[in-house]
Structure 1
Amino acid sequence: MKKTESELKQIVLRLGGFHTEMSFLGSIGRLMAGSGLHEVLETVYASNAVNHMLSGKAVSRAVRGFMMVENALHILLMKESFRVSLPSAHETDTEADSSECDEIVEKACELYDRFVAGEETTESVEQSSILSEISTKLVATKEKLCKSRTSSLWLNFCRMTNILSKFLIAERTGNWDLHLSSIQEMLPFFVAAGHNLYAKSAYVYLSMMQRLEIDHPEVYRHFKAGHHVLRRTDRFWSGLSTDLTIEQILMRSVKSSGGLTRGRGMGESQRAQWILSMPACADYNSAMQDLTGVGYCTSDQHKEATRARKERDRVDTLAILE
């Protein structure tokens, strides 16, 4: 008999981005245990919330908290490199004292003002020698600080949060190459934190994805086009990991009012009836929205880009600095 290939070979398995992010957040918390990160975060969050953040369970809080700590560290790094005074919680950007700032910082501020005014283009700013000078000076400061174990630990924290930022950008924007490169950078931290299952799975996942263009060229083209994430809207920053979408839609429906865990039972017949009825319920929902003229929609502005959230982040970052 002629052997036929199994249909299972046509299935491409992917590593869930949301749970990978959770594991990496937990790795950061594990590696920074005893460093004082817990106490620093307690200046903004409650102690019990910080425990969940460092374990990777409270994802949104952990991302925000780690980013604020990283911002505070960069402020201290700028102070060390360019003699920039620390900002105060009661002063605005226009009130900040710049009399003792380094000359490079003053030139950078002038370049920024010209860019905002439209006198400079993005290309001219990127080619500016001022940015190169700033980068060179920051690298020199980091090399000097790396001689201290404590400074080296916190610089490593900045590196981990930078990897986290790149991973979030890849998921939100649908950047396939950045997605793979950021997971590759996560590997040593998974191993160091003892997250062996994710270290192994991520390694196998990267090996499979590197051959995706050869083994599954059609799937590869879709992933390169940004279709490895799901979108509910056509906005640029609206990509969602597939496992996150499952958690938000399917699992929420199962566990919310009227779901399987609310008195219906979890038998095979109940599960089949509930799953098969979901398309009909969606049609009824759409019809009721059309009838009543009421629809579910979101604001064009991301909640983290609002003025209130920016002000709250600024105040909390300054609280961490103090």
Structure 2
Amino acid sequence: MGGLNGLDPSLSPSFLSDTSAKVFVAGHRGLVGSAIVRRLHSLGFANLVLRSHSDLDLTCQSAVESFFTTEKPDYVILAAAKVGGIHANNTYPAEFIAVNLQIQTNVIDSSYRNGVKKLLFLGSSCIYPKFAPQPIVEEALLTAPLEPTNEWYAVAKIAGIKMCQAYRLQYSWDAISGMPTNLYGPNDNFHPENSHVLPALMRRFHEAKVKGAKEVVVWGTGSPLREFLHVDDLADAVVFLMDKYSDLGHVNVGSGKEVTIKELAELVKEVVGFNGELVWDSTKPDGTPRKLMDSSKLANMGWTPKISLKDGLHDTYKWYVENVSQ
């Protein structure tokens, strides 16, 4: 993966062979960061550098500079971000653009200045235009307008990709970016108002089961298509990219499999064990009809996901029952 925009991988040790290295996982308590920590531990990485928000405020430039000067991590995986659904994005646009820009700028710049060997920045599929052709290829970035409801977050994430590219071009520094599709799994957000579709469905079916409700009403027609990736598969892809990829372009990370919201709801209903009726309220909006990423670039490098949606849902529901449900 060398060439003009890549770096010669033979010049640095393979990430997987460097298990004694200091690896800073930013955002280690979140859905993504916690999965990456689990994956690194399973591979024998024993020198992880982890800081909670109360220990290190990544939006504070002086605190981040001081942390990097003191700790000197060898590798950085940037999974920290301010995230939320449509309601949160619409309500707090200033926070979504400012906080994410601050986190990224501070971590990426301090990583470079303190000799980090390699950095991986994680974005989101919302970086792509609202009406990008499906499945969405990496080259669709910046070809048309964004989805207005989350453009503040998307613009920040696009800036993160471009910052990694700029530091690679100007300083020949190994910064790469991965763009995951819709994620789910242990440590997901099951908040009644602010969660995404999959954890929201799981919570509602579980609560209906516990209460002995006769039916669960779900918004829309159930016809939109969505792609889901278990967060443990993403963590595996992150390690793969840290080990194998060194080039200018960002990389899509998806399952390549689509499911209708109706199929998803039926599957969650089955996994949860809710025996009542599923009712669709077609007066409510459906959202984007289809959102699938083209992950063939990553597949051609030799990585594909391993966890089926059904197995992943069973795993997630087990975690929910043990950790969230009252």
Q: Fold match, TM over 0.5?
A: no
Q: Which one has the largest radius of gyration?
A: 1
Richer in strand (by share): 2
Higher relative contact order (CA 8 A, sep 6+): 1
Richer in helix (by share): 1
